[in-house]
Structure 1
């Protein structure tokens, strides 16, 4: 038994000495031109696949990935955040991207062997030592589904063309805020001061959104004032579907209900601009309002304690009713 322990100790000592030599003396060549030692790539890739499969979220939490608005929103983000490394469908990666070790796969190859929930985990969490970053905003897995919807459309060769990101910033913003419904808010009913404030919060991370943090980071500071003025003046006409009258009645009842400590929804978000404490939300898309209320309910948005207090007691049914009611009010 003593001989066994001595052998194990000797092997451990040799392993430690080897590690010291590799790390301390720089024996391991970190050049990207050399690549990994034989077998290392296989070990890393196998570990990667098994790790993703273990941690991928349930598809029960996924929205409708065939929703055109969700796909278009994901395409808008992909165009600036992902295409520089993975290229657009039908395009080639740059020579620099292809020279990386490991090289980011072309998007057609990247989506080929993954399920939507696995792609969600990869986009949200990123991959260590690969150059693949995590989603820019923590706890915003709801946004990640838009990119997954676009990737799923690529997989079945049904993806829309990416928006033009080479033109003026205002046109790029309008590609989402004027043409996409669903989770994208209208800006024409919001004042320039409010839009400017939110853009600053997206840039500094105090208002968590991976999509908007990326978009806001592309705006040169000297163009911000003109962008805000232009966006607040552009109208967007979106149709809303008919809603259950009972749901709308419930929504109005909730919107008019307040307490001694928490004012009614309409007290802060209704009426004219001079009397509003918060932004105008009448006429905003129903899906957008649902997401926003849930973010306040869950405490992911926490900048306004009063708003969090108003939302945290809401049930899922309450959120459905309020979103239905406000989305159908005349702005």
Structure 2
């Protein structure tokens, strides 16, 4: 019995030692953004990523009238949301993007290598630990397809053409204005969609929210687990669904002294977020929204 236990301990020790060697010699211990992963790690990640994206993108339906095209509106959307990291013909990425690891890819190469459904998938869902955000629920499907059309047209677009199209683009372009057309919520809101909306709108940057994985001991804004049970929202508004939606959409209008920023949340998505916060309260058996004392 002791012999078997000794062999088991030796085996475990050997595995631990091998793991440490791989961790150290493989460069995983270097957490800085000035040194890339070893080449074999970088390639392995790319292989797994591309296999998963190819599989997931099969669920994306390309519009029947989709055509790779560079036009002013597409360029304006790309300039607003993408050029900061990826650059454009004759336009360098912003300095912060050049210091990212990995450096955001040049999308001319992506257009040559990937079909439109994969480009759209990256725009819609983003990619963990790469710096690529998810535009899901923050941009309309129509505008995400417009950016996809531009990306697919980038290989044939010259710097002069890009500059001319940008000059003709709308000066005040906000893709958020069409989000409400793409997302329709029931009157009481959709808690599941609200949960996702809180994730993609970065609520976890400041708050701990029950049911959503984030930093467990974040101390910026208050935890939102009991938001649905409080008598007042932000200490100034009676806790009702309408007021919760109002607060989520424009906190500065409700309380100019609040540090909570306006995240550009549409009314439908704010209704969904409120529904999720109240659903958490309901799971705890609370009376929500709570009665307001006269």
TM-score (norm. length: structure 2): 0.47
TM-score (norm. length: structure 1): 0.42
